[in-house]
Amino acid sequence: MSAVLIASASAFLRIGLVQQLRPRQGGHGRIAPVEAATATEAVRTLTTGGIDLAIVDDALMASPTGDHLVARLERHHERALVIATREPQRMPATSIGTLRVIPGIVDGVLNMGAIARALPAALDEVAVEFGIRRVPPDALRTSIAPECAPTPRGQPEIVLVASSTGGPSALTILLRHLGRPKLPVVVAQHMPADQTAGFAQYLSAESGLDIVERGAGEVPSRPQVTVLHGGSDYRLGRGRNGQFRLIATEVAGNVFHPSADLLFGSAAEAGVSAIAVVLSGMGEDGARGAAAVAARGGRVLVQDFASCVVAGMPSATRATCPSAAMAGVAEIAWRLSRWSTAVIHPAEAVPEG
């Protein structure tokens, strides 16, 4: 087991870092995150020992007890990562030469996508040095990627959309440009249970479409947009008459709900011909499920990284499934409209446009 200190006054950043660490447990053994919200808590945790790796928000170094934290990190520097959430010129002058620093600020704004892209390499560097890592860093991804079919097969039956941080605005733009859908659309937006009904109403008002919130049960076969009930996870399957059904399922250890990986992956297992769309979001949810969709001959679309509030989910999906097409939100809507009526034959070469 590897004990990892995650220290930041920002609960958002701590949750994001925990989510980034979770998919790596298979290769690094079990990871036990230990969170600290203040510099004092971080110092106390490091002093008691047993921490294999410290990931610290540099903003804590500027707190009243920040000097103690810097001093402790200098002793622990070989197993410490600093997330730079302040402008570079405001970083502490001491220890800059010894600490591994991951830039977390892009154009003056905290960018979880930048952190998500830089963190794996930094973790692997530490893991290799201290023997924490037991398998190649991208063993999971390289095992999945070759299975991603570069050529779609069959006519799509449903559109599945995953989104998290930055997703509400991306979804609004997507649905405005999509217009009346030609296929059922199911949206997994990471959101608490008490917010998704209002969110569905908001999307309906903004897009002019018929949009409903739905939990477990039958999904209408008519082209309607469904927002999954928040705070829960769902499998997509088929009923006795072939209609789509959502089955509520608990995913152990899952932090963000609904789980896009479960939604996408279960659709692939059920033999559903789907188009998987991954929009702005923190973490890697949707990446493995999208690979399963592509492996069954479905199409995968990811939002272009530059337009994402947080590019973690689209970036992870593109890395796991290289056959995924990357596009702006408006272009994704155009492709969905075009692909929803296309009949794809197994031997047909599909142009990227």
The arithmetic mean of pLDDT across residues 309-318, rounded, is 89
Residue 347 lies in a domain: no
Q: Catalytic: which of 2, 163, 164, 340? A: 164
Q: Total domain count for the chain?
A: 2
The percentage of the chain sitting over the pLDDT mark of 90, rounded to a whole number, equals 33
Does 179 lie in the same domain as 90? no
Q: Dump pLDDT digits (tens) for 66-91.
A: 888 888 887 776 688 888 887 654 44
Q: Dump pLDDT digits (tens) for 175-186.
A: 999 988 989 999
Q: Catalytic: which of 285, 307, 323, 340? A: 285
> Which strand (E) or helix (H) includes residue 144?
helix 139-144
Task: Identify the CATH number of the domain in which residue 129 sits.
Answer: 3.40.50.2300
Does 69 lie in the same domain as 207? no
Does 302 lie in the same domain as 224? yes
Asked about 340 being catalytic, the answer comes back as no
Does 214 lie in the same domain as 244? yes
Residue 128 lies in a domain: yes
Does 274 lie in the same domain as 218? yes
pLDDT at 150: 52
Q: Which residues contact 114 (CB under 8 A, 6 or more apart)?
A: 103, 104, 106, 311
The alpha carbon of residue 125 and the mean position of all alpha carbons in its chain are separated, in whole angstroms, by 22
Cis omega (within 30 of 0) for bond into 258: yes
Residue 344 lies in a domain: no
CA distances from residue 78 to 61, 82, 100, 124, 129 in whole angstroms, order as listed: 18, 12, 8, 13, 9
Distance CA 288, CA 271 (A): 16
Distance CA 320, CA 325 (A): 12
The whole domain housing 33 covers 2-137
Does 334 lie in the same domain as 221? yes
Q: Is 63 exposed, middle or buried (0-12, 13-18, 19+ CB in 10 A)?
A: middle
**Residue where a domain terminates, one of 90, 119, 137:** 137
Residue 352 lies in a domain: no
Q: What is the per-residue DSSP string for 280-343? A: S-SSSTTHHHHHHHHHTT-EEEEE-GGG-SS-HHHHHHHHH-TT-EEE-HHHHHHHHHHHTT--
Question: Half-sphere exposure (CA, 13 Å, Cβ side) for 252?
Answer: 0
Lowest mean pLDDT among 72-81, 160-169, 199-208, 262-271: 72-81
Residue 324 lies in a domain: yes
**pLDDT band at residue 43 using 50, 70 and 90 as cut-offs:** very high
Single-letter code of the amino acid located at 269: E
pLDDT at 229: 94
Distance CA 275, CA 181 (A): 13
Q: Catalytic: which of 190, 259, 266, 273? A: 190
Does 152 lie in the same domain as 280? yes
Asked about 77 being catalytic, the answer comes back as no
Asked about 345 being catalytic, the answer comes back as no
